[in-house]
A = this chain, B = another copy of it.
Amino acid sequence: MKPSSHLTDTSGYMLSKLGQATIEQFAQRLRPLGIRPKHCGLLAAIRHMPMTSQLALGQALNVVPSAIVTMIDDLEALGAIKRVADEADRRRYAIELTEKGAAMLQQATAIAQQVDESILAPLGKSERDTLRQLLKKLSTGLSQA
Contacts and interface: CB of A to CB of B under 8 A. Distances in A.
Interface of A: 3-23, 25-26, 37, 40-41, 43-44, 105, 108-109, 112-113, 115-116, 119-123, 127-132, 134-142, 145
A3 to B, nearest CB: 7
Nearest to A22: B12
A16 B7 contact: no
A70 to B, nearest CB: 19
B17 A18 contact: no
A145 to B, nearest CB: 7
A125 B131 CA distance: 15
**Chain A contact residues, majority secondary structure:** helix
List of 5 A-B pairs having minimum Cβ-Cβ separation, nearest first: A19-B19, A14-B135, A122-B141, A10-B112, A12-B22
A18 B15 CA distance: 7
A41 B127 CA distance: 28
Contacts of A26: 12, 16
